Amino acid sequence: MENASKALIIAGAILLSILIIGLGMMVFNNAKNALTSANLDAEQIDAFNSKLETYIGDDKRGTDVRTLCDTVKSSNASAEEENFVKLIYTDGSNKEFTSQSDILNLRNEIKNGKRYDVKANYNKDTKLIDKITISDPITTSKPETPEG
């Protein structure tokens, strides 16, 4: 009888240790998934921004800016309203373009042969590009005044 009770105690201890190991593995996998999903979000942010950052900079060709307009238009079509990218064209009016038709009209205003300065603004909370300013350096620059 003593051997049987010892065998039951040993079997219970083995089952308890298997349960503890299984619980530990479950906690580890949940923590790993949480870290992986956080990295995916950062990767998604980088992927979104990299689509647009290609066209950001000074002295960009009109064809690049027109392609940027197409990219923003398609991005806004699939985005939620709070994640829209606004295009601002500083030709004196500083109008914001977010709707599909407005972006298409802006795209048609951009001349292929001209050069433009394109600057991005990043949302402080989401780290996504939320505003892109397109300016014509010739029309927006102030004329230099002679010193003297």
Q: Is residue 6 part of a domain?
A: no
Q: Fill in the DSSP letter of residue 79.
A: S
Look at residue 148 in the predicted model and tell me its pLDDT.
43
Give the confidence band of 140 by pLDDT, cuts at 50, 70, 90.
low
What's the predicted TM-score (pTM) here? 0.65
In 10 A of CB 38, how many CB atoms? 10
Residues 60-68 have a mean pLDDT of 92
Look at residue 65 in the predicted model and tell me its pLDDT.
92
| Span 82-130, pLDDT tens digits | 678 888 888 766 778 888 888 888 898 888 889 999 999 998 888 888 8
Q: Is residue 69 part of a domain?
A: yes
Are 93 and 85 in contact, with CB atoms under 8 Å apart? no
Domains of the chain: total? 1
Are 123 and 48 in contact, with CB atoms under 8 Å apart? no
Q: Is residue 5 part of a domain?
A: no
- Count of all residues that appear for the chain in the document: 148
CA–CA separation, 40 and 13 (whole Å) = 40
Q: Is residue 83 part of a domain?
A: yes
Instruction: Say how many Å lie between the first and final Cα of the chain, rounded.
Output: 113
Look at residue 8 in the predicted model and tell me its pLDDT.
92
Q: Is residue 59 part of a domain?
A: yes
Q: Is residue 127 part of a domain?
A: yes
Chain position carrying tokens 């397109």: 134
Look at residue 35 in the predicted model and tell me its pLDDT.
62
**Domain limits at 92?**
54-140
Chain position carrying tokens 């906690």: 27
Q: Is residue 62 part of a domain?
A: yes
Q: Is residue 39 part of a domain?
A: no
